[in-house]
Chain A
Amino acid sequence: EAGVAQSPRYKIIEKRQSVAFWCNPISGHATLYWYQQILGQGPKLLIQFQNNGVVDDSQLPKDRFSAERLKGVDSTLKIQPAKLEDSAVYLCASSPQPGGGPRGNEQFFGPGTRLTVL
């Protein structure tokens, strides 16, 4: 079974530039998550989708971050304009079903995109 795919793997930009990340979840997974992981810390949830609807975006800095999941499959996360403190690894994860029992919440993570803002 193919895992969660993310691209690009690495990105270097200057502050105030824009950047976009792409995620393709595991086929059939209804729930998709974007996390931000700053060096030395655990992943922090930015946004959670159920199919193509947003379930939780309470920690998404909406003045500069946006995300969409068209047709309930692939997703993109955009930052514009980027700040130095956005340097982090951006992880995408998917899970089979929402709240459908403890195993239904198992999240499968992609390899992440490492963003460096100069």
Chain B
Amino acid sequence: DAKTTQPPSMDCAEGRAANLPCNHSTISGNEYVYWYRQIHSQGPQYIIHGLKNNETNEMASLIITEDRKSSTLILPHATLRDTAVYYCIVRKRSSGYSTLTFGKGTMLLVSP
């Protein structure tokens, strides 16, 4: 399964855009990029996913490069509640069932 590389930590000022990068240079053509986040003492929460086109929902935007070797999660107006660990995951298929393999993620700290 494709591995991902993320910076261990990032800082962002409240109200500014947070841009979280992820490298997945070994991604296969039928693998999706997923983003989850985990707020302290809670379980992970789904944010967004994409295959090759840019995606946007009420939480965030996902920008995937044309060669699909990297992506960026964008939180357009970060708030203090966005402080969390953000996981970039490439979905693996196994015997028809898809699994998620979490790395260490990026700890995003949003400050006033």
Q: B residues within 8 A CB of A31?
A: 97
CB-based A-B contact count at 8 angstroms: 59
Q: A residues within 8 A CB of B80?
A: none
B residues contacting the other copy or chain, number (CB 8 A): 25
- A109–B43 contact, CB under 8 A? yes
- B100–A107 contact, CB under 8 A? yes
Q: B residues within 8 A CB of A111?
A: 41-43
In the complex, A117→B32 CA distance in Å?
Answer: 37
Q: Is the interface of B mostly helix, strand, loop or mixed?
A: loop
In the complex, A103→B49 CA distance in Å?
Answer: 8
Interface string of A44-57 (1 = CB under 8 A from B): 11001010000110
A residues contacting the other copy or chain, number (CB 8 A): 26
Interface string of B52-82 (1 = CB under 8 A from A): 0000000000000000000000000000000
